[in-house]
Copies of this chain bind each other. A is one copy, B any other.
Amino acid sequence: MRTRIEAALDTTVARATGGAPPRLAEAIRYAVFPGGARVRPHLCLAVAAACGDDRPAVADAACTAIELLHCASLVHDDLPCFDDAAYRRGKASVHCVYGEALALLVGDALIVQAYEALAAAGHAAPERLPALLTILARAAGSPHGLVAGQAWESEPAPDLGTYHRAKTGALFVASTMAGAVAAGRDGVPWRRLGERLGEAYQVADDLLDAVADPGECGKPVLQDAVLSRPNAVTTLGLEGALAKLRALVADAVDGIPDVPGAEPLRQLVMMQAKRLVPKALQTAA
């Protein structure tokens, strides 16, 4: 599945970079390759597979769009006016290498290219496009998507749940729902799986920020404390956060709709969930 995701990303990114201003093209590639774990596109394709994956080109486009929106948000969040992060995925962040102006444009280009990917594959199943577009716009934009999540950081007293649902949950929900819609199913029953995995991933990220070494997560640690951001470990303690993570994964698995490919998907989610626990805590889990 990794090969399929990278190939789909490469095809879409190539359309954005061929003939583009050379430094922009280079910076776009730098922002997308090599990626991290590609958690969201894997989830999207796994759901599409469980639903029969009858239009693989549409599922490819959906998972590509989701990953490009994720990459765009990383590039913009790392900018000096937000996290001012020097490292991402184990290398210098985009603005540190290419400057703020190009980093801003890379993010913009990736958002647009996410929709271009859907357009390019949409001819194969145009009747699925309105739902796919709506799912992706909700996940990426305002009032409840990535952009809103980032904006809640600028508000004086944001609700923690609202913040996390927008900042992390929205794109996980989009991953499961878009995977189902890309395979011709209703997306709504897949919301719970995405929501719970998004929450689990957020708790895992909080654990990683609290206990991991920088080499394990490829970015600076203890940033939540440094930036006074809310963190589940601060609120619940290490054991409490681990227990919450386990409960969320169990509820996610329970929430998988009864489709022909449900059982392999359950196995996959449980296997992947084990990796969410930082190495330093894996005996405790």
The residues of A with any CB-CB pair to B shorter than 8 Å are: 15-25, 28, 72, 76, 79, 81-82, 99-102, 104-105, 107-109, 111-113, 115-116, 118-120, 122-123, 126-127, 129-130, 133-134, 136-138, 140-145, 147-148, 150-152, 154-155, 158
Contact = CB atoms under 8 A, between A and B. Distances in A.
Contacts of A147: 24, 105, 108-109, 112
Contact of A129 (B100, B109, B129): B129
Contacts of A19: 143-144
Contact of A22 (B25, B105, B109, B155): B155
A5 to B, nearest CB: 21
A147 B110 CA distance: 10
B105 A150 contact: yes
How many subunits of this chain does the assembly comprise? 2
7 contacts: A15-B143, A16-B141, A24-B151, A81-B104, A112-B140, A119-B130, A122-B129
A158 B104 contact: no
B141 A113 contact: yes
A6 to B, nearest CB: 20
Q: In the complex, which of the residues A21, A22, A112, A142 has the most CB atoms of chain B within 10 Å of its own CB atom? A: A142
A113 to B, nearest CB: 6
Given A21-B155, A82-B104, A105-B150, 18 more contacts: A16-B141, A17-B143, A19-B144, A20-B151, A22-B155, A28-B142, A99-B154, A105-B151, A109-B148, A111-B112, A113-B142, A115-B137, A116-B137, A120-B130, A120-B134, A122-B133, A126-B129, A126-B130
Given A108-B107, A141-B109, A142-B20, A101 B81 contact: yes
